[in-house]
Every structure is written in C-alpha cells, then in structure tokens.
Chain A
C-alpha cells in the first residue's frame, strides 16, 4: 500500500494548552476572590468587583475558558492522531483559537460591567452568544472535515464523544439563548417563568453533561490508554457507556427544580432519569480505572497517571452524589445550600481540573520532544491539588448540611429555631474560611504547573509540524459481510451525528414540549399583573447586580419554608418574569415574599438603609453594600422601549401604554422617595430632597422589592377598582 506523508499541527495544540493554563489561573483567582468576599464582605471594593457580578465571571471563566480551551487542546491533539490526518484547515483552527479567546475577553469585560442576561451559566449577552455560535460551528466544521479526510476506517470511541459534544452543545446553546435584544448589550429571555426555568435547567444540566463530561470522557478514553500504554479495559462497555450516557443525561434537568412550581410529572421524570444515570457514569468510571489494572505499580511512579486516577475517582464520586441529591428527601436538605457548591467543585477541581493537568503534563513533553522540566514539581502539584480539593470540599459539605438542617429546625412550640436567616449564615464563616484556604492551595499548585510547563517549553523546542506517514484510506464504500451495525455508524460520521442528534432531541422534546403547549401568557392567577415601568427598571438593576447569585425567589411548599417566608410560590406568579429569577443558592434569604402584604415585607426606608450598608441593619451580614445605587441616577432612555419589548414577548401591556410610562414612573418614584425621607428625617425634608432622591436607581430597586410576590394578596376586585 502506498504511504502518504503528512504533518500533525502541534502549534494549535500548544496554543490551546497555554490558553487553558492562563485562563484557568484567572478564573480560579476570581473564584478565590468571590470565596473570600463571603468571609470579608469589605472586599466588595467597587461595583464591578461585587460578588453578584464576579461570581458569574468565575463560573463562565472556569467552564468556558479553562475547560473550553482544555477541550480544544485535547481534541486537536487526539483527533489528528486517531484519524491519521492533519486538522482539515489551519485557517479554521486559528479562527477557532483566536475567536474563542476574543469571546472570553469580551466576557471578562462585560460581566463585571453588569451586562448580563441574568440566566445562570448563560449570562453572556446576545452579541457574544452569536459569536459563540459561529465559533462553535467553525470548530465543528473543522472537526467534521478532518473526519471525512481521515486515513483510518473506524472512528475510535473518543471521537463519538467529541461529536456528541459538538451536536448537543450547539442545540442547547441555541435553544437557551432565544432572547429579544433591547439594545446592543441588553436582551430579554424569550421564555418566562416556569418555561424559562425548565429551558434554563435543561440547558444548565446538560452543559454540565456535554461540556464538562462528554468531551472529557473522550479525552479519558484517549489519554489514559496513551499514558499507561494499555488499551481501554472494555470496548463493549464504552459503546454502552456512550449511548446510555447521552440518552439519559438529556432527561435529568428537572432535578434542579424539585419542590418548585414545576409540574410534578416533570419533577418525577427528572428524578428517575437521574438515578438511572449512575449506571452509565459508573460504567465509564470503572472502564477508565480498570484500564490501569495490573499497572498500578506504574501509577505509583507516573505523575500523569496519578492525576488521571484522582480525576476519574472524583468523576465516580460526583456522579454517585448527583443522583443522590436528586432524591427528594436528600434534596430537601441540600438544595439552595453550599452542599451544591461542594458537589460541583468535586467535579470541577477533581474531574475536569486533574484530568486537564494530567493531560498537559503528558502532552507538552510529547510536542516539545523533551522530558518534563521537573517531575518533582509535578508531584508537588499533584499533592497540593489533592489536598486543596479536600480542604475545599469537606468544610463546605459540612456547612451545607449544617445550614440545611438549621433552616428546618423547629422549636417544640412550632416556631423556627433560627428565625433570623442571618444566624444560619454567620455560623458558616469558619467553614467559608477553610474553603477559601483549600481553593488557595489548589491555585498554588496550578502556578507551580505553569512554571514547570513554561520551563519545559523554554528548554525544549516545539515540533510545530510533526511529520508522519500512513497508508491512504482504503475504499470505504461497501459493507463487509456480516458487519456489525455499530461499525457501520462508526464509519459514517454523518450518520453518527444524526443518530446522536435524534437521541438528544427526543429527550429534549419530551421534557420541553409540554411546557410550550401551556401558553405562558395566560395568567393562571387573575390578580397577577405585569410590572410597572419603574419596577421593571428595578428588576433590571436586580439582574445587573447579580442579586440572584445569593438570593432565590422560590418559596417551596414545605412547612419550614412557609413558616420562614410565608405563602409558597405558585407557577402562575411568574408568567411575566423574562427571565425567571428563582435562583439556585441561598447565601441570603429567599426574596419572593419580600413585597407588600407579605410576612417578610419591610418599609422602603429599611431597604434604603440596608442597601446602603447591610451591616448597619443586619450586623454580621455578608451582603455587599450598594452605595452607588444611591449616588447614580436611573437611566430612563429605554424605559418606554422596555414596555414595547415586553409586549412583543407577550406581556399584556395595553397599546399606547408607552406614552404614560415616564409619568407613571415619576409618580411611583416620588411616593417611594417621600416614604424614605419621612422615615429618615421626619418633618424635616425639602421638596428638593425629594426631587433629587426620586431620580436614583435605588428607588427603582425598592419599587421592585415591594412588588415581589405581592399580587396574590390582591383580590381581583381591588385591581379592578384601581
């Protein structure tokens, strides 16, 4: 057979590897800052450094910048070798690389400035969403064309995982990002309330599945065999693993919404599929670990394998824990607490982090044609990493349990033991401190790795184009006698992609279609009305400041919840919420019953003072102070257009309402400003003071706070009279 000469592109692999390390360190440092702010709230130095704005930066940076670049590095390395072909187009490879970095930079700039769609893990605004879509297509196109130009017959299992990743992430991203632009950097989610929640968690859950899991499983199936010199334990198991995983994962999203206003059947569906997920996940984990059977002596000496073993073990732990957390009885304790944060960090720091590090330590010496600069330092990194994970996670698990139980504690007379929510927060400070220390140790390890890798690069020399020879591909056409169905699919990447697409679409459709059948625009509760223009502006401030990173708006129908917050939340109350703001974590109390007529209601002046300096009102509070809301005037440029936009989305504002917007805002704002001044300086304030105060952002935010969850208390008559 004739041998063809060609070259692997190593430069693109190097570029992505360097980007992985740099963004990794940045993303983790931002995380460390956020963790420290929960102990020392004074570290919320300026508006753009407050917890609510940088926590999304942290999550986006580690997921899309650190892990994202890690995926590209690993895929670009392994794909070329598994297909015996150079990446199809160097130009596309470079566009993929630079485009992705530009997207990350725009996220790093826009998120702290408060440009956000307000949907967790999908915060980036619409122009960036479009750029991501284009870049993802570039990546897929390049990968696909390479597959079509390959010099081998079959597609190794790792590549199926890459293909499923490509297809599913594309679908998830597009469906979840339907939004109506208001201006260049602001848009509203197309969906509202329950529907938005369901779409968002279908996305959120599957982003974990198809961005943090499937591509990394592909990398596991390639790099563990390579690093250990042993083929995967069971190839049959890997086939089962693949199909079962992509099939089951896509259904499990509703487990993020247990006990919420989501319909029961959808909750049950989520639970059942979550439990089933244990099977393929553990199949995959065992397949990875058993690949090393009989080679454990190697694991002891080889730091790369050590990283990988810890990674796969963490994967096993986290995929066992996840299904457990979706059992309703466990979820009652874990939901909204730091337990969830501990859980995702076993995944993030353990599975993604350690596998990435192992891969980098293995790959850099290969493409630089020399040994790693220092094995000793790599070992130090390994221990720091492992220790860091433990010191991070154990205290946080403890904090989660503690808080979950404290919320539930009743006195014999039926009153809550911890009436003041803040009491359950201040007790967590020592644990938060330990968590930050654990994270710090982990990051020191990453710095050591960077030093080690850069030293290796300086001493070695990158083999930019690695020359190889392989026979050109024998004719692919024609089915072999008695050929297995799956190999037919393997040979045909197009079919492979279509089958995966169908599999994930079925799951997605069953989960989402029923919610679309219910018109979200028909209020199921007659007294629930659209927000006033001022409240809408306040809501946008709530989104901008990322209050949802600490506050939920979802009182679950549980005794200990209603005793604390009041009436539980109904699906019909959220029909005008574009986007929904149920939240996923309670660092502060739930706010859905903060409004007028509720148990939790506060005077306007209370909010004013509290936002100015939370610790003055609630000593020991870890909420940031928001003094700029009191200094800055509300920007009303878009107030009218916001009404139009909302009407387009189906919120029933009457035609022509825009003309009354400014006037109504003025009246409502003046009322709030007078209330505040009456309380703070009784009998002693001037009209000028009112005029000045009513223009401030804080007024709009207070208007929104006072509206939250208050409509169900108004009967329809009262509204008619208005």
Chain B
C-alpha cells in the first residue's frame, strides 16, 4: 500500500535532486547577499536610513 505514496513522484528521474538544487541556490544567494550588504559604505547607509525624515 505504501507504494502509492512513495512512488507517486519518485517515478520522475532524478527527482531527489530538486531539494538539493534549491538549497544550494539559496545558500549561494544568501552568502553573496551577506557579503554585499556588509561591504556597503557607512555614509550611504546613513543617508538611506534617514529617508523617512527628509
């Protein structure tokens, strides 16, 4: 009986790769973003921060 669940999508070749691809895309994206965010220079940050008050 279990096969009805188990084999519903496992029939597609290489389906296991999906979660792995997705996780890698995310991790790469996230690390890249962290690096960029922290290289941002201070004065610009201050300028952006104060936008609601200008």
Contacts and interface: CB of A to CB of B under 8 A. Distances in A.
B48 to A, nearest CB: 5
17 contacts: A78-B52, A152-B51, A156-B48, A225-B52, A235-B45, A235-B49, A243-B29, A261-B8, A269-B19, A507-B22, A510-B22, A514-B12, A518-B11, A557-B2, A570-B1, A571-B5, A572-B4
Interface in B1-43: 1-2, 4-12, 15-16, 18-19, 21-23, 25-26, 29-30, 33-34, 36-41
Chain A CB within 10 Å, residue with most, of B10, B21, B37, B41: B37
Interface in A552-590: 557, 567, 570-572
Interface of A: 78, 81-82, 152, 154, 156-158, 194, 222, 225-226, 229, 231-232, 235-236, 239-240, 243-244, 247-248, 251, 261, 263-266, 268-269, 272, 276, 484-487, 503, 506-507, 510, 514-515, 517-518, 524-525, 557, 567, 570-572
Given A240-B34, A247-B30, A484-B44, A517 B51 contact: no
B19 A240 contact: no
A484 B39 contact: yes
B8 A572 contact: yes
B23 A272 contact: yes
Contacts of A486: 36-37, 40
Contact of A510 (B9, B16, B21): B21
A159 to B, nearest CB: 9
Chain B CB within 10 Å, residue with most, of A236, A515, A567: A236
A239 B33 CA distance: 9
B44 A265 contact: no
Nearest to B16: A265
Contacts of B39: 484
Given A236-B37, A247-B29, 20 more contacts: A235-B45, A239-B37, A240-B33, A240-B34, A244-B30, A263-B8, A265-B15, A265-B18, A268-B19, A272-B19, A272-B23, A484-B41, A484-B44, A506-B25, A514-B9, A517-B9, A517-B12, A518-B9, A518-B12, A524-B7
A269 B29 contact: no
B20 to A, nearest CB: 10
A276 B15 CA distance: 22
B40 A484 contact: yes
A247 B26 contact: yes
A78 to B, nearest CB: 8
Given A152-B51, A156-B52, A231-B50, A269 B18 contact: yes
A546 to B, nearest CB: 28
A517 to B, nearest CB: 5
A240 B37 CA distance: 7
B51 A154 contact: yes
Nearest to A506: B25
A231 B8 contact: no
Nearest to B47: A154
Given A263-B9, A514-B9, A236 B38 contact: yes
Nearest to B29: A247
B16 to A, nearest CB: 6
Contacts, number: 114
Contacts of A506: 22, 25
Contacts of B52: 78, 81-82, 156, 158, 222, 225-226, 231
Contacts of B8: 194, 261, 263, 518, 524, 571-572
A226 B52 CA distance: 7
A553 B36 CA distance: 48
Contacts of A236: 37-38, 40, 45
A156 B48 CA distance: 6
A82 B4 contact: no
Contacts of B36: 484-486
Contact of B10 (A78, A81, A154, A263): A263
A261 B6 CA distance: 9
B47 to A, nearest CB: 8
Contacts of B26: 247-248, 251, 276
A571 B15 CA distance: 17
B3 to A, nearest CB: 9
A204 to B, nearest CB: 20
Contacts of B29: 243, 247, 503
Contacts of B21: 510
A82 B7 CA distance: 53
A235 B26 CA distance: 22
B30 to A, nearest CB: 6
B4 A570 contact: yes
Nearest to B8: A571
